[in-house]
Amino acid sequence: MPDDQAPQQRPGSASLRSASRVPLVAANWKMHKTVAETEEFLDRFLGELDGVPGAELVVCPPFTALAAAVARAAGSPVRIAAQNVHEADAGAFTGEVSIPMLRELGVAGAIVGHSERRQLFGETDVALARKLQALLAWGLEPILCCGETQAQREAGATETIVRRQLEADLAEVDAAELGRVVIAYEPIWAIGTGRTATPEQAQEACAVVRSLVAERDAAAGESIRVLYGGSVKPDNAVELFEQPDIDGGLVGGASLDPNDFLAICRGISG
């Protein structure tokens, strides 16, 4: 999918975002914020939350701050999710955290398959398929990441890469369950680089994601929420979020500041 290729209408895509898909904006804090910093962020963010209608908001702190985040967000519209999880309920997996542990804390879901997990920690598609199945079985919401490198994009291989990732990662998910997965398209070349896909590039890739899900189940292709991630900021959020196949964003660096994240969340309503 070269940069200058015009976006195409694909199966499962519509000219306007489906009213059945509730927009979602998630903050991925990565390895940032202590417990005290998490509490301070949520106190400030929740105190200014008026004016973000019609969107689900998710904050994903480090494991150490999950309990504090759940407690601070209790009774608010904000849900708390983890940045990773192990597929097994328990076992000899030093340093890992299980889904039952997250559920006990009141965590609502988990990010899985982020490019940093794939590239830096060797996370495989086989493991991701198991994680997705386990999260759904426990009633938690997976946010599955996919995306291509700059070299892959320049080679016109974006769709091939995304197809390979999604077919492998969703292999264990029943068609009837596909709509419960949230998919975040994150071009690796735009994560933490300050570079952002144009709204047209982001729309084209997210339409590809939706069409790939629709190949397995047309209803799931229409209902599944597809997020864009990759240097989402207050000044580009509205343009990105108004695209018909983009149902929100997975926000990295800009989510660390409560004012910036609030501005991005407000952008979902255009």
Cα four-point dihedral sign 118, 33, 107, 59 = negative
> Which residue out of 56, 114, 116, 148 is catalytically annotated?
114
Q: Which residues pair with 111 in a beta bridge?
A: 143
Active site residue 186: yes
CA distance 83 to 131: 12
> Which residue out of 56, 123, 186, 222 is catalytically annotated?
186
Which two tokens mark 230?
């990759």
**Cβ 223 vs Cβ 182: under 8 Å:** no
CA distance 159 to 165: 10
Which two tokens mark 140?
């938690």
Assign 3-class secondary structure to 206-270. HHHHHHHHHHHCHHHHHHCEEEECCCCCCCCHHHHHCCCCCCEEEECHHHHCHHHHHHHHHHHHC
Smallest CA-to-CA distance from 192 within 109, 86, 241, 120 is with: 120
Active site residue 141: no
CA distance 193 to 28: 15
CA distance 99 to 11: 34
Active-site positions? 114, 186
